[in-house]
C-alpha cells in the first residue's frame, strides 16, 4: 500500500471522553530512533546452480543436510515427513550459521532448514493455500553420511540454487511506527523519502524486518503471548523494486518456488520460549 493511501486509511483517534491536562511530550529524535531500530539483514539472493551442490552448503533446493532435520518428526537421519499428513516434505532452504553469523538459533544448533508440505489435503495447510511450512534447527556436527544416503531418493520441486549473501542494515516499515514518531518523520522528510528509507528490503532474507506485501502482521507467541521476533522471509518474487511490468516482464525466480500468487512466507520465532516456537505468516499479491 502506498504511503498516501495508508495515511488516508488510518482511522481518526477516538475523541477524549474526559478533558485532560495537556501532557508534555518529548520531541522524537528521528536520528536516534533510526539508530536504535536499525537491524542487520542478510539477503539470500538465489543463483541457479550449474551442478549439484554439496549438502553441507547454504542453498535453496537440491540435497539438504539431513543430520538432525528429521528429529522433529522422530526420524533423525531420514528425509522428514509431514507430521500432519505423513507425506515426504519438500526441501526449500537451508542456512548455516557460519554463513550468516547473526542467524538467531537455539544453543547447540548451527543450521536452519525450511521444508514444505505440498499435500493440498494436509490439515496443516496455511489459510486455504496448498502448502504448510516446517522450520527445523539442527546441529550440523552430527555425522550425516548415512542420512544423505537415506534421503537421496526423494526428489525436490525447488530448483537448486546457491546463495549470494548480501548484508544490509535496514529500518522497520513506517507503518509500524507510533503516531508521534510518524509525525516527527513527516516533519523532516517528504513521503518519497520516508517510503524509501523506512521500508524493509524485499526478497528472501534472514533478519532485519519483514517486508509485508499486504498490511503488517506481527504474530504473538502462542505460549508466552509476547510479540515474536522476525526470523526470515522466503519470496516467490526475488526481484528488488522498483519493478516495471513493461521493462521487466515477470520470470520465475531461479528457485522456481511459487507460493500462491507471487506470495511471501514470513517466519517468526519466540526466543524466550526457544528452541522451537516458530510461527508462519503468509501473504500473497
Q: Which residues of the shown chain bind Zn ion in the complex (CB under 5 A)?
A: 82, 84-85, 117, 119, 122, 221, 223-224, 270, 272-273
What letters, b where the CB count within 10 A reaches 16 and e where it falls short, cover 157-195?
ebbbbbbeeeeeebbbbbbbbeeebbebbeeebeeeebb
The phi and psi torsions of 7 (rounded to 5 degrees) equal: -65, -40
CB of 86 to Zn ion, least distance (A): 7
CB 181 within 8 A of CB 171: no
CB of 271 to Zn ion, least distance (A): 8
Q: Smaller CB distance to Zn ion: residue 239 or 271? A: 271
Closer of 71 and 195 to Zn ion (Cβ): 71
Q: Which is nearer to Zn ion, 125 or 213 (CB)?
A: 125
- Least separation, in Å, of the C-beta of 193 and Zn ion? 36
Residue number, 117 or 162, with CB nearest to Zn ion: 117
Residue 113 Cβ vs Zn ion, minimum distance, rounded to whole Å:
16
CA–CA gap between residue 184 and residue 182 (Å, rounded): 5
The distance of closest approach from Cβ of residue 225 to Zn ion in the complex, given in angstroms and rounded to an integer, is: 7
Residue 56: name the closest of 124, 130, 125, 141 by CA.
141
For residue 30, give the nearest of 194, 211, 169 by alpha carbon: 194
- Could you tell me the smallest distance in angstroms from the CB atom of residue 32 to Zn ion? 29
Compute the distance between CA of residue 216 and CA of residue 173 in angstroms, rounded to an integer: 9
Sign of the Cα pseudo-torsion (169, 171, 173, 176, in order): positive
Asked if residue 49 lies in contact with residue 59, where contact means CB atoms within 8 angstroms, the answer is yes
Instruction: Select 53 or 132, whichever has its Cβ closest to Zn ion.
Output: 132
Least distance in angstroms from the C-beta of 80 to Zn ion:
11
| Residue 274: Cβ-neighbour burial (10 angstroms; 0-12, 13-18, 19+) | middle
What's the closest the beta carbon of residue 131 comes to Zn ion, in angstroms?
A: 9
Asked if residues 158 and 257 have their Cβ atoms less than 8 Å apart, the reply is yes
Owner of C-alpha cell 551442478: 51
Q: At what angle do helices 30-37 and 179-188 cross, to 10 degrees?
A: 120
All three cell numbers of 52, joined, read 549439484
Amino acid at each position: 500500500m502506498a504511503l498516501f493511501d495508508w495515511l488516508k486509511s488510518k482511522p481518526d483517534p477516538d475523541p477524549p471522553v474526559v478533558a485532560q491536562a495537556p501532557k508534555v511530550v518529548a520531541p522524537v529524535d528521528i536520528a536516534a530512533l533510526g539508530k536504535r531500530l536499525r537491524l542487520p539483514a542478510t539477503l539470500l539472493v538465489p543463483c541457479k546452480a550449474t551442478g549439484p551442490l554439496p549438502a553441507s552448503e547454504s542453498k535453496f533446493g537440491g540435497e539438504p543436510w539431513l543430520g538432525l532435520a528429521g528429529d522433529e518428526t522422530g526420524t533423525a537421519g531420514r528425509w522428514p515427513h509431514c507430521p500432519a499428513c505423513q507425506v515426504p516434505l519438500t526441501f526449500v532452504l537451508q542456512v548455516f550459521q557460519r554463513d550468516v553469523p547473526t542467524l538467531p538459533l537455539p544453543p547447540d544448533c548451527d543450521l536452519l532448514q525450511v521444508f514444505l508440505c505440498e499435500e493440498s489435503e494436509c490439515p496443516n495447510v496455511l489459510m486455504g493455500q496448498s502448502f504448510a511450512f516446517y522450520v527445523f534447527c539442527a546441529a550440523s556436527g552430527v555425522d550425516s553420511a548415512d542420512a544423505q544416503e537415506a534421503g537421496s531418493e526423494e526428489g525436490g520441486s525447488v530448483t537448486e540454487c546457491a546463495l549470494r549473501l548480501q548484508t544490509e542494515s535496514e529500518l522497520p516499515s513506517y507503518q509500524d511506527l507510533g503516531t508521534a514518531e510518524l509525525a516527527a518523520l513527516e516533519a523532516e522528510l517528504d513521503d518519497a523519502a520516508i517510503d524509501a528509507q523506512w521500508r524493509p528490503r524485499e526478497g528472501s532474507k534472514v533478519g532485519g524486518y519483514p517486508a509485508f506485501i499486504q498490511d503488517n502482521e506481527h504474530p504473538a507467541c502462542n505460549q508466552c503471548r509476547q510479540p515474536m521476533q522476525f526470523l526470515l522471509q522466503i519470496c516467490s518474487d526475488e526481484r528488488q523494486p522498483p519493478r516495471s511490468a513493461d521493462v521487466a516482464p515477470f520470470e520465475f525466480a531461479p528457485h522456481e518456488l511459487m507460493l500462491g500468487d507471487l506470495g511471501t512466507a514470513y517466519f517468526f520465532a519466540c526466543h524466550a520460549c526457544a528452541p522451537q516456537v516458530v510461527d508462519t505468516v503468509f501473504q500473497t499479491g
